[in-house]
Chains A and B, each alone.
Chain A
Amino acid sequence: MHYVIVGNGVAGITAAFALRKRDARAKITVISGESEYFFSRTALMYAFLDRMNLRDLEPFERKVYQKQRIDLLHGWVEDLNADRRELRLKDGAEIQYDRLLLATGSAPNRPDWPGLGEVKEGVVHFVSLQHLAECERLTPSTRRAVVVGGGLIGVELVECLVHHGVEVDFLVREDWYWPMALAPEEGKLIAQHLRHHGVRLHLQDEVTGVESGTGSRVSAVQTGQGKKLPCEMLGICIGVRPAVDWLRGVATPPALGRGIQVDRGFRTSLRDVWAAGDCAEFQRPDGTPFVEQIWYSAKRQGELAARAMLGDSIRYEPPLFFNSAKFFEIEYTTVGATTRLPDTARSFFHRWADREATIRIVEENGAVTGFSMLGSRWDHTVLERWVGERRSLDDVVARLHEAQFDVEFGRVPLAGLRAAFGAREVRA
């Protein structure tokens, strides 16, 4: 049996190890064009910040692959022929597989702003190793940069550029930072924090045009509010989409929507071909498609897809949502849903007066359904359990200390929060 995995990101590599764990004899090949070895994409920023070398980003010692007999192949896959169970690489090499997993991840969204097409130099994304190399090449000749996009990757790129002494204009289209995940109060706190670090944050503003100068390098960005922001670098971080464009032209393309369409058992429309991670598109019961594009979901999906390939009967149900992030110094933990809530939901919000920390607990019909915490550490597994147990808001506030995960001597005090909770106006 020859398992071939296209993509050595966290989904692909997790799948490879999971396959090996159960099948000691199979041949397993992982193909990647981006990098020879699996690296932690979430740690790209730490290489840019000089806190890590590229080699440090690799989660496993290189000899592990040899020991686990996972063959790594460095190259771009160009063609897929499912009828002949064959892949062709850019260099012409042909690979036969018995079972194939597509785990090609995400690619950055590229907008069609007027003028962007003429720019040949200075436009960057921050998703791949190649992007990192490009950012590092351009940074020394950059005094001012514009970063567009109010999500996580945007803020990471901003932090890196600020570290290197670049003046940054950060353009966020929405009313506050990251409304997808943060309520206005939390968005405001992050905005304050960014501005404190010298970032010029422009809310409710977007790019209307891009100008280029000498050598076709980006020279300025025009915005909807009529500003002209001079810059030598333009970071585009307006989200990612499944990296499936390469599949549109192959001999036997799988069914594609935004991503590779799979059933809940990770099967694509092609025989003996599965897909997992950022590139996989599932359907909700109501027929609407969804993709999951975070580290945790990719890891989970990789593990399960491997089991599906081994013949287990898998029906993937994403567990209760959780995520984490860090905005400069402010850590963020979230569980469940905390934004775009139904009218029946209400939330308790508290901000500590003496530190950049907030907590939000959402309750719906007498049971907590979501948490959003900034600036202190929480054990999300406890929070998840409380949601599962349908505990009341009063109950959760009373036992909140059980979920604290701050360092020893460093727990944030809960007395003020509980006093505020007791004195809050109870809204109907």
Chain B
Amino acid sequence: MIKAGTAQWLLHDVKNRGITAWLLAVVLTSFYLVLYFTEWLTPAARAVGLDGKWTLYGLLYSIAIVWGGIYVIRKYRHNRYQIVRTSVVIFVQVTFAFSIPQLLKFLHQPEYYFSYLWPLKMEYLTPGYIFSLPLPFILYSFLGSLLMVPVLAALFGKRWYCSWVCGCGGLANTFGEPWRHLSDKSSLSWKIEKVAVHTVLATSLLLTALLFVTWGVGKSNPEVARFTYGFQSFYGLMVSSMLAGVVGVGLYPLGGTRIWCRFFCPMAALLGLVQKFGRYRIRVKENMCISCGLCSKYCEMGIDVRSYAQASQSFTRASCVGCGLCAEVCPRGVLRLENVRVRAPQEASLIQISPMPSVRQAG
């Protein structure tokens, strides 16, 4: 039941797909279309003393994360996991995702974002680009993407990246907090998610392979090079601009905050596969669940957490980003995020054994 008063109505409306939410979605979507496909923001950036629209975007993005982050820390001030996690998100955004690249630029170094890695940031394993950088950047790109990312994911789950470091997740978990419950929880959306996110992953792997091939033999095979660069720009347009930006953030007020992370992010897909076999899980206290459903409602990844909780089944879902909100909102303290040495076979199984009764099939 909505609280009385205009302000309360507005708050409910914007958080629950009301007219204001639709308006806001139009505004956000338009902003991203303007950002990606026009130069209209360049004069605005110059006017405030910045060197271009992307720096302005970085600044706005950082402001959104700091502002939303402070709101989240206040809201969950009794929960140390949320305080620590959100503080790290803010710190990473302000430093690695904004100040340091600007500083590098100022020092005539490459504008490098240490908080973004392949395959989220395709450039960082694009040989034609990455080998043009000084050696430390090359080493960080390769070791970071191919070693640090999977090792940390195996130890702590994908959360170390998706909800502690990544800017996309950072924005979702701070500025996006009011819309986290809008993610679709149906088993149908889970099926779509699995197809979509792994398709993008496969595409990104294919593109990376092609880029390496072209780097090796492209000079003598202009056909290959033409194909690869065409593919690369198609991927850039579709995935990086349309899905990550326009759809991913533009639809926050309608579809929740993790549309990009859940359905399209190749990095999330890759980390998810590692997570399935790693140490991370959500532990479910036996027989303590009251099936209230707050955990499912507030899962931004659309995981029906309740189906596991009410079946007393600890679990690891590939898509879980470990934000910890299910454990936070649970009124009976049933759930806990943890990293354990040994997990039950069904937790790591790619064919998710469905908690009875359910229509869930695979996972």
Contact: A410 with B80, CB < 8 Å?
Answer: yes
List residues 74-111 of chain B with CB under 8 A from any CB of chain A. 78-84
Say which one of A55-63, A229-237, A258-266, A345-353 lies at the interface with B. A55-63
Contact: B288 with A380, CB < 8 Å?
Answer: yes
Taking CB atoms, residues of chain A closer than 8 Å to B290 are: 40, 42-43, 295, 324
Q: Which of the residues B83, B291, B333 comes within 8 Å of A331, measured between beta carbons?
A: B333
Size of the chain A interface, CB-CB below 8 angstroms:
51
CB proximity of A368 to chain B, nearest CB, Å: 19
Taking CB atoms, residues of chain B closer than 8 Å to A48 are: 1
Taking CB atoms, residues of chain A closer than 8 Å to B4 are: 140, 164-165
Residue on A nearest B297 in the bound complex, by CB = A56
B292 CB within 8 Å of chain A: yes
Report Cα–Cα, A377/B285, bound state, in Å: 11
A192 CB within 8 Å of chain B: no
Report Cα–Cα, A165/B3, bound state, in Å: 8
Q: Which of the residues A50, A56, A67 comes within 8 Å of B12, measured between beta carbons?
A: A50
B306 CB within 8 Å of chain A: yes
Residue on B nearest A38 in the bound complex, by CB = B291
Residue on A nearest B298 in the bound complex, by CB = A51
Residue on B nearest A384 in the bound complex, by CB = B286
Residue on A nearest B324 in the bound complex, by CB = A407
Q: Map CB proximity to B onto A280-322 as digits: 1 under 8 Å, 0 otherwise.
A: 0000000000000001100110000000000000000000001
A379 CB within 8 Å of chain B: yes
Q: Which of the residues B187, B297, B333 comes within 8 Å of A51, measured between beta carbons?
A: B297
A84 CB within 8 Å of chain B: no
Residue on A nearest B187 in the bound complex, by CB = A61
Taking CB atoms, residues of chain A closer than 8 Å to B296 are: 56
A26 CB within 8 Å of chain B: no
Q: Which of the residues A140, A326, A408 comes within 8 Å of B337, measured between beta carbons?
A: A408
Contact: B336 with A40, CB < 8 Å?
Answer: no
Taking CB atoms, residues of chain A closer than 8 Å to B187 are: 61
Q: Which of the residues B3, B337, B359 comes within 8 Å of A64, measured between beta carbons?
A: B359
CB proximity of B196 to chain A, nearest CB, Å: 20
Q: Which of the residues B1, B286, B357 comes within 8 Å of A20, measured between beta carbons?
A: B357
Contact: A64 with B1, CB < 8 Å?
Answer: no
Given A17-B357, A331-B332, A380-B285, A46-B294 contact (CB < 8 Å)? yes
B327 CB within 8 Å of chain A: yes
List residues 340-361 of chain A with CB under 8 A from any CB of chain B. none
Contact: B285 with A405, CB < 8 Å?
Answer: yes
Q: Which of the residues B286, B292, B327 comes within 8 Å of A42, measured between beta carbons?
A: B292
Contact: A379 with B285, CB < 8 Å?
Answer: yes
CB proximity of B267 to chain A, nearest CB, Å: 23
A139 CB within 8 Å of chain B: yes
Told that A63-B359, A326-B332 touch, could you supply 15 new A-B pairs with CB distance under 8 A? Answer: A17-B356, A20-B357, A21-B357, A47-B1, A52-B293, A52-B297, A58-B293, A59-B307, A61-B187, A64-B359, A322-B288, A329-B78, A379-B285, A408-B324, A409-B81
Q: Which 6 A/B pairs are nearest by Cβ-Cβ distance? A: A43-B292, A410-B80, A377-B333, A409-B80, A42-B290, A59-B291
Chain A interface residues (CB < 8 Å from chain B)? 10, 17, 20-21, 40, 42-43, 46-52, 56-61, 63-64, 67-68, 136, 139-140, 163-165, 295-296, 299-300, 322, 324-326, 329, 331, 333, 377-381, 405, 407-410
Q: Can you pick out 14 interface pairs between chain A and chain B where the beta carbons lie within 8 Å of each other?
A: A10-B291, A43-B290, A43-B293, A47-B1, A48-B1, A49-B1, A61-B358, A64-B358, A64-B359, A164-B1, A296-B288, A333-B333, A407-B80, A410-B79
